[in-house]
Chain A
């Protein structure tokens, strides 16, 4: 299967709602980076985690190396949260392997 699987492929949320994105990897990874790609194509780093959990405002991410997954949780969704979210676990050589992304649409 794919080395990095992201679910769901697409997500529609109303403003103020919350939801979670998940990323599973086929092998043990050293860390993970989460990105939001906006409508201009720019990659914005949301989190870099080598272990555990981090929070930043309405976003929270967890990385579990042993169980080979990471999650991204969005609370109180805002219109500007729309975009494509990529999970990219980090392997040897500090190399990122990207998933195909989750397209998030936040509706008013």
Chain B
């Protein structure tokens, strides 16, 4: 019974389009994150949110916009998609805010393919 739900699990998009990746966590955690795993790079940190506020952004492109409508939601909107955006996007959460070091719990990922 997954406690971090990512939707969709797989998606295919065309270059130039826009997609939203959904993440909901039912662990009662206060911090949420996005990580990306592409074929060319190791898993890499993208964003962190703590109590629904953006804490850190390591994503150079403004085409990637996290959205937190509720404390347990952190969606990722990606606009003007490019083939290089093809990757598996992992959502994660941790109990405290990001200033408290603690274990991250990962979702199962959303695999995006951009044609």
Contacts and interface: CB of A to CB of B under 8 A. Distances in A.
A88 B43 contact: yes
Nearest to B102: A94
Interface residues on A, range: 20 to 34
Given A33-B104, A43-B90, A45-B106, A94 B98 contact: yes
B101 to A, nearest CB: 4
A57 interface: no
A90 B43 contact: no
Contacts of B88: 41
A45 B103 contact: yes
Contacts, number: 56
A98 B56 contact: no
B99 interface: yes
A80 B106 CA distance: 20
Contact of B103 (A48, A99, A101): A48
Given A90-B101, A98-B35, 18 more contacts: A30-B101, A33-B103, A41-B109, A43-B90, A43-B106, A45-B106, A86-B43, A88-B43, A93-B48, A94-B31, A94-B98, A94-B100, A94-B104, A95-B56, A95-B98, A96-B43, A99-B42, A101-B42
Interface of B: 31, 35, 42-45, 48, 55-56, 88, 90, 94, 96, 98-106, 108-109, 111
Of all A-B residue pairs in the complex, the 10 with the closest CB atoms, nearest first, are A48-B103, A98-B43, A30-B101, A94-B98, A43-B106, A98-B42, A100-B42, A93-B98, A93-B56, A95-B45
